[in-house]
Amino acid sequence: MEGVMMRAPHSYYLAVRRPSGELATEQMPVQRPSEKYRILGYPVFRGIGTLAQSLYLGIRALRFSANAALEQEGGEDQKQQEISPWLMGVNLAVSLGFFILLYKLLPLSLTTWLGGRLPLLQGHIAFNLTDGLIRILIFLAFLYGVSRWKDIRRVFEYHGAEHKAVFNFESGRPLSVDNARQFSTLHPRCGTSFLLVVMVIAIGVYALIPFESFLMKFLLRVALLPLIAGLSYEVIRFAATHRGSLLAVMARPGLWLQRITTQPPDDSQLAVALHALEGAMALEHAQGGELVVA
């Protein structure tokens, strides 16, 4: 995505650079999930609600970005080229299926195969540790592989620009390209850290599953995804405010992983990120919300 999405508690703002070099923007007010459904304000449940909302906004941003990329000179054919919600739905379903295949079915199958040949892995704890290690290795290999693609590297540069802009805002210094350039691309509240924590938390949760059949293990690995996401959100939330805690140490590898998923941006990318941030803050201010980045 040639752009940056910024979120404040009640605001969504997306800035995308068109092929012509101009900025296309989209904005809208959003509700906290807990304001719509009270249960989503409680621990674990709030993580599930936040993740669901982030997924919705992410899909919306991707569709807007893709449509901006398809824009051509003349403008008459623009609507004909827009990506339909139906096509985005199919893409989401395929992506979800790929995720389950790659990070649930494949690790479980490999661990089961190894367990049939290595008696050491037949124990419940050893089995789940091996399953979790294989899952993390697949994740790291996939992430490193896609990072070598030129287009993905551009996405990671915009990701780095987003983090620098957020650091600039949180520092209290005036928002500018010169100031933002001085900050790190590694941010403790990044989704990359969240993904890695999810995989670590999953090892402990799966170790509590009493079933031995392959089918039940697989089905519960899929069914427990919301619970694992909620628990992982709580770990990230706690680690962000308790930097010296054990949970903060657990979350630290996610920062290291951002050396892959964030790259140093150029000044034009920083300008896009700052524009998105300023837009989100202006919208938040207009609604009387707290000026923080979600």
- Sequence ranges of the domains in the chain: 3-285
Structure tokens at 9: 């508690």
Of the chain, the percentage scoring pLDDT greater than 70 comes to 89
* Residue 175, Cβ density class (10 Å: 0-12 exposed, 13-18 middle, ≥19 buried): middle
Strands (DSSP E) contained in the chain are 3-8, 11-17, 23-29
Least confident piece of the model among 65-74, 114-123, 271-280:
65-74
Q: What is the pLDDT of residue 74?
A: 45
Can you say whether the dihedral through the CA atoms of 132, 134, 140, 145 is positive or negative? negative
DSSP codes joined into one string, 250-289: HHHHHHHHHHHH-----HHHHHHHHHHHHHHHHHHHHTT-
Is residue 11 left, alpha or beta, with left meaning phi > 0 and alpha meaning psi from -120 to 50? beta
Place of tokens 């390209």: 177
Mean pLDDT, range 128-142, rounded to an integer:
94
Mean pLDDT, range 3-8, rounded to an integer:
87
Single pTM value for the model: 0.83
Q: What is the pLDDT of residue 246?
A: 62
Place of tokens 């650091």: 167
pLDDT tens-digit profile of 223-242? Answer: 999 999 999 888 888 876 77
pLDDT tens-digit profile of 273-290? Answer: 999 999 998 888 887 766
Assess contact for 202 and 135: CB atoms under 8 A. Answer: yes
Q: What is the pLDDT of residue 91?
A: 83
pLDDT tens-digit profile of 246-259? Answer: 666 666 777 788 89
Query: Which residues fall within 8 angstroms of residue 229, CB to CB, at 6 or more apart?
Result: 47, 48, 51, 198
* Residue 112, Cβ density class (10 Å: 0-12 exposed, 13-18 middle, ≥19 buried): middle
* Residue 14, Cβ density class (10 Å: 0-12 exposed, 13-18 middle, ≥19 buried): buried
Can you say whether the dihedral through the CA atoms of 245, 226, 203, 159 is positive or negative? negative
Structure tokens at 128: 């789940």
Q: What is the pLDDT of residue 293?
A: 60
Query: Which residues fall within 8 angstroms of residue 78, CB to CB, at 6 or more apart?
Result: 67, 70, 71, 72
Distance CA 152, CA 206 (A): 32
pLDDT tens-digit profile of 170-203? Answer: 999 999 999 999 999 988 778 787 888 889 899 9
Amino acid code (one letter) for 98: F
Q: What is the pLDDT of residue 211?
A: 85
Radius of gyration (Cα) for the chain, nearest Å? 21
